[in-house]
Amino acid sequence: MKIRKLLCAAAALCITLVAGMTVQAASEKEALKAYNDMLSKPTIKWSNTCPNEPTSRLKFALVDFNNDGTPELYVEADPHSGADVHFKIFFCNGSKQPVCIMTSPTDESLISYAPGRKMICVKRSDRAGVIKTYYKISSGKAEEKLSYIDPYGGAANEYYLGKYYYSKKITKSEYDKKKKSLLKNNAENNKIYVKTNTAANRKKYLTVNSTPKLLKLSKKNITKYVGTTCQLKVSMSGLTGPLRWTSSNINVATVNSSGKVSAKKAGNTTVTVSVGNLSASCNVTVKPENTAASYRQKYKNYLAKMDSSYSFAIVDSAEGYPVLLITDKTAGGYAKNCSVYYVGKKVSQVGKLKVSSLIQYKNGSIYQAQRRSWIKIDVQKGKLVTKRYTDFSEYEKAAPENIKFLKNTSANRNNI
């Protein structure tokens, strides 16, 4: 254990963090110019072993890690360059100069970040095991908040409130609670799209866009039913940095990192997307699942997965909930291979009507007129209840009408 701690102590010297007093950030325009100037130089002091690293071998990305509207500069070295540093994160201060706030050795990599909480997660491997550490990026500094080590050889994980081995050791439950507090349900984005440091890329990504900043959502208000989903789309211009999605009430509806909203329970919430200090919102109303409208929405989603060779009709059951009929061939009121679908926990087939028969409907019941008899069909509690009759006077009294089947097209589904 002592040897392992000494090894980790030596490795820890490789990472440099800028702490101390709060640093005033530059504007976005000032920051991009400073980053551009730095990467335009032929060489850069990258590490002690590479004091004159050619900037042409570097890759970069703009990421607003601390979510203040001014992006930080993430720079990676070529892993085959011989440098003992894998990546650096630069912050542009009020003096309009790039300041390195984090330097990571070659055995470390940034695996995720949550800009909404100003958090990044760094992974490294050494002789002790795999170590993951969460840092908070703010005010021009990186501060260790939480870490754990997964030792080789199957030993139990160890958890720390800060830097591994150099802070208080805690239990897994304490670690999980602290991590939840740090991230607060903000999605961790593990994609950083680095670009080769060329003049063309610097001009494209490190020049302030003259286009006015704009951030809009495809919808301002939506109504969904429990168990359904909706995709929100973003329109943006003049902005850099990752999108941050949040829901004001995750018990009512959640939203993932791509803007997909999932309705959980009845209520209201606001889904917000933000980039830096700009945001756009959509009001979400979630209604209970057991409504006729929610059934129709689920049928619509189900039909969207089928091709246009099918036809469909939706009628109300005696219980008041819609029933979906799907057929692969229709002629007048006749339908071949007509199946009946109903919503339980999901849309499922509950029965199949007689091949090539006249299908009619009236007051919550489906009728099949046949040569010497007729059948009355009801859907009750998700099951088909059928009864055959030979007295056609009762059938004539019911006076059912032919069901109109529609081709399974997008236009017809939109009218469901």
The pLDDT value recorded for residue 185 is 64
Could you report the per-residue pLDDT of 211-225, keeping only the tens digit for each?
557 889 999 999 887
The pLDDT value recorded for residue 190 is 62
Could you report the per-residue pLDDT of 358-406, keeping only the tens digit for each?
788 888 888 887 777 788 888 887 788 888 888 777 778 888 888 888 9
Place of tokens 């002789």: 127
The pLDDT value recorded for residue 189 is 67
Amino acid making up residue 14: C
Q: Distance between CA 219 and CA 1 in Å, rounded?
A: 57
Q: Distance between CA 412 and CA 391 in Å, rounded?
A: 37
Blockwise average pLDDT, block size 10, the chain, 416 residues = 41 41 68 93 87 91 83 84 77 85 81 81 85 87 90 86 85 91 72 88 79 80 83 79 86 91 92 86 86 83 89 84 83 72 78 76 83 81 82 80 88 89
Determine the distance from the C-alpha atom of residue 416 to the mean position of all C-alpha atoms in its chain, rounded to a whole number. Answer: 28
pTM > 0.75: yes or no: no
Q: Extract the tokens encoding 319.
A: 């219980």
The pLDDT value recorded for residue 3 is 40
Q: What are 253-258's contacts with CB under 8 Å, separation 24+? A: 253/224, 253/284, 253/286, 256/187, 257/187, 257/189, 258/231
The pLDDT value recorded for residue 356 is 65
Q: Distance between CA 105 and CA 124 in Å, rounded?
A: 9
Q: Distance between CA 226 and CA 112 in Å, rounded?
A: 31
**Helix spans in 251-330 (H):** 292-303
Q: Distance between CA 274 and CA 253 in Å, rounded?
A: 18
The pLDDT value recorded for residue 6 is 38
Q: Distance between CA 395 and CA 374 in Å, rounded?
A: 7
Q: CA-CA distances (angstroms) from residue 184 to 179, 250, 318?
A: 8, 11, 47
- What are the extents of the domains in the chain? 2-196, 212-287, 292-414
Q: What number does CATH give the domain 212-287?
A: 2.60.40.1080
Residue 59: Cβ within 10 Å count: 17
